[in-house]
Amino acid sequence: MNWRELLASERFGDKRKNASQPMRSEFEVDFDRIIFSQPFRRLQDKTQVFPLPEMDFVHTRLTHSLEVSSVGRSLGKNIAAEILDRNPELEGITAHDFGAITGAAALAHDVGNPPFGHAGEEAISDYFRSNPKSSKIKDEVSESEWNDLTKFEGNAQGFRLLIRNHLQGLKITKATLGAFTKYPRPSLVEAQNKNRKSQKKYGYFQSEKEEFSALADTLGLISISDSDSIWCRHPLAFLVEAADDICYNIIDLEDAFGLDLVSYEEAKGFLANILQDRFMPEKLIGIPGDKEKIGVLRAVTIQVLVDQVTQVFLENESEILSGSFDKALTGEITAAKALDAISNYSIENIYRSRQVLEKEAAGFEVISGLLETFLEAVFLKFYSKEGYTGRHKSIYRLLPSYTKFMLEENEKSVYENVLIVTDFISGLTDSTALSIFRTIKGIAFQGSRRG
């Protein structure tokens, strides 16, 4: 792979050349499109880890994404100076371009995630795997399409949003799409190489297979398997992943401390293990309040991790470009064991805390209920007609106008229409999903009253 191809600024279906304003690159346009978009704004009311408390602040998907973007931009600019020095032929490309691409890709990294955190992905998958009413869908789709549904993936949903040019779509540049895609493979492969981090999950649905193949061709991504449509990662995807790893480990720990799930001494100890000789406890004495002290340690810790990730990336640049390096950068840094200690502690004591589990349990009920109700109405309307009752008509009419437009625009396969419904449900915020669920189940009704 070479950097000139990897930094392609073209967009799908866009024939314009150099259309950007002189002071605004195409990659900066990407950032602006994402931050003003509906899918990004909805992250404001999507769970990161903890339910939103009344008396304190915890991170939502939106604030998490902003922080990951900030770290990603720093990482992109950090590596750029050395890469541009090593590759003088990259005339016209600046450190700001590297920073803008990684910053935009990191900003968008969670736009495809459904409500209720990662439990939302599992809830969608679980519906297709376990609900008897989904069997009629299975009979109408291919094996690879069914695998998309039973292993629903927010990364693939995000890619689907980012290549669109209408409704909720963003149509970002191919360089940013490449940096966004941590898992450049489909859901169903014959030979998954578990030693390659980029094959841990998948990054695109069958519905976007042709677009991803075209993207890989433009960017010059290295093909690992033609038969399985698997490619090597875009190098900047390693930085986006590292930015996410840094933020969710460190920031989730800070949130847990704020909610009294982790003590001050425990949180301080975890951060001190990363900082090592940069940990200066005497400087904490003059800082009022434990929350402020943890905030200061968090800031310094993130900077240390950014510096270490930058170093590992630059040391392995040639292997990354050749496709032989395929590991998480945060697993190769000096502080890897200290970061793992936070991750292991978080799994046992934070992600399995009662308030998190309660939110996940509610998410399973809500998402399963929405899928069952809306998919039944859509299936009966378009593919059966028999048994399509007034109830189903009312349910169908509750769908947003853009969803109904997509369903009715042209004759589509069952798989395509199921994805349109999952587009709608995965795009809901936590509170909207709960509100619709309560309405269709008759638990709550927003209407006029006479008396």
Q: Which domains does the chain have, with CATH numbers?
A: 3-114+145-235 (1.10.3210.10), 237-349 (1.10.3410.10)
pLDDT band at 362 (very low <50, low <70, confident <90, very high): confident
Q: Which ranges constitute the DSSP H helices of 316-351?
A: 317-322, 336-349
Cβ neighbourhood burial of 85 (10 Å; 0-12, 13-18, 19+): exposed
Cα-to-chain-centroid distance, residue 444: 32
Structural contact between residues 160 and 423, judged by C-beta atoms closer than 8 angstroms: yes
Q: Strand, helix or coil at 309?
A: helix
Res. 230 pLDDT band, cuts 50 70 90? very high
Q: What is the pLDDT of residue 283?
A: 83
Rounded CA-CA distance 427/272 in Å is: 39
pLDDT higher than threshold 60 for residue 218 = yes
Evaluate if residue 87 carries a pLDDT over 80: yes
Residue 63 CB: number of other CB atoms within 10 A? 16
In the structure encoding, which two tokens stand for residue 281, read together? 């406890």
| Closest to 39 in 3D by CA, of 59, 61, 58 | 61
**Furthest-apart CA pair in the chain: how many Å?**
79
pLDDT digits (tens, 9 = 90+) for 282-339: 888 888 889 999 999 999 999 999 999 999 999 999 999 999 999 999 999 999 999 9
Task: Report helix angle 430-440 to 354-379, nearest 10.
Answer: 60
Burial of residue 138 (CB within 10 Å: 0-12, 13-18, 19+) is middle
- CB burial string 106-124: b at 16+ within 10 A, e below: bbbbbbbbbbbbbbbbbbb
State both tokens at 202: 């998948």
pTM metric for this prediction:
0.92
The torsion angles phi and psi of 227, rounded to 5 degrees, stand at -70, -35
What is the distance, to the nearest Å, from the Cα of residue 261 to the centroid of all Cα atoms in its chain?
26
**Least confident among 9-13, 205-209, 235-239:** 9-13
Kindly tell me the burial class for residue 246, based on how many C-beta atoms sit within 10 Å of its own C-beta (0-12, 13-18, 19 or more): buried
What was the pLDDT predicted at 48? 66
Q: What is the pLDDT of residues 401-414, one digit of tens each?
A: 989 999 998 788 99
Written as six digits, the tokens of 91 are 């005339």
